[in-house]
Chain A
Amino acid sequence: EAGVAQSPRYKIIEKRQSVAFWCNPISGHATLYWYQQILGQGPKLLIQFQNNGVVDDSQLPKDRFSAERLKGVDSTLKIQPAKLEDSAVYLCASSLAGQVYEQYFGPGTRLTVT
């Protein structure tokens, strides 16, 4: 069974530039999550989708971050404009509906903002 796919794996941009990350969850997983993991910290939930609807985006910095999951399958997370403090690994995870406890994570996108 294919796991959660993410691209790109690495991205280096300058501050004030824009960047987008892509995630394809495990087939059949209705719930998709985006996390930000800063070095030395645990993952922080940015946004949670159930199919193509947003369940929780309370920790998403909406002035610069946006995410969508238009067809209820793959998803994109965008940062515009990026700040130095956005340097982190962005993890995408998915789970079966109602099984939030068992999330399967992708390999992540390591973002460096210079």
Chain B
Amino acid sequence: RKEVEQDPGPFNVPEGATVAFNCTYSNSASQSFFWYRQDCRKEPKLLMSVYSSGNEDGRFTAQLNRASQYISLLIRDSKLSDSATYLCVVVKNTGNQFYFGTGTSLTVIP
């Protein structure tokens, strides 16, 4: 079973829409969680951390559900510039092992 699983999409949404992605993880010992963004043919970049209490940064909200072992990313008022692949990342507390999901592709349509 994969450490991290994501729906690859693609998600095609109109400008201004709200879209949400989920990511499930298999190991309950996982300690830290993050969302990275990867533009087409570019390198991944840290978008935001995911805290147990949730985390909001402008139009982006990240949440963690430890009981169900998933994290989510909500994007409100989508912009064309939000078009990218969103990768969830799970870090296991032993050895700081870093696991990326396969990524969810988002295209925001004018």
Contacts and interface: CB of A to CB of B under 8 A. Distances in A.
8 tightest A-B CB contacts, nearest first: A42-B100, A105-B43, A100-B96, A42-B102, A43-B100, A42-B101, A41-B102, A42-B103
B91 interface: yes
A56 B91 contact: no
| Chain A at the B interface: SS class | loop
B91 to A, nearest CB: 6
Interface string B52-75: 000000000000000000000000
Contacts of B99: 45
11 contacts: A40-B102, A42-B6, A42-B101, A48-B96, A100-B91, A101-B89, A102-B46, A103-B98, A105-B43, A107-B42, A108-B43
Interface residues of A, number: 21
B14 interface: no
Given A40-B8, A56-B97, 18 more contacts: A35-B100, A42-B6, A42-B87, A42-B103, A44-B100, A45-B97, A45-B99, A48-B98, A55-B95, A56-B96, A100-B91, A100-B96, A100-B98, A101-B32, A101-B91, A103-B46, A105-B43, A106-B43
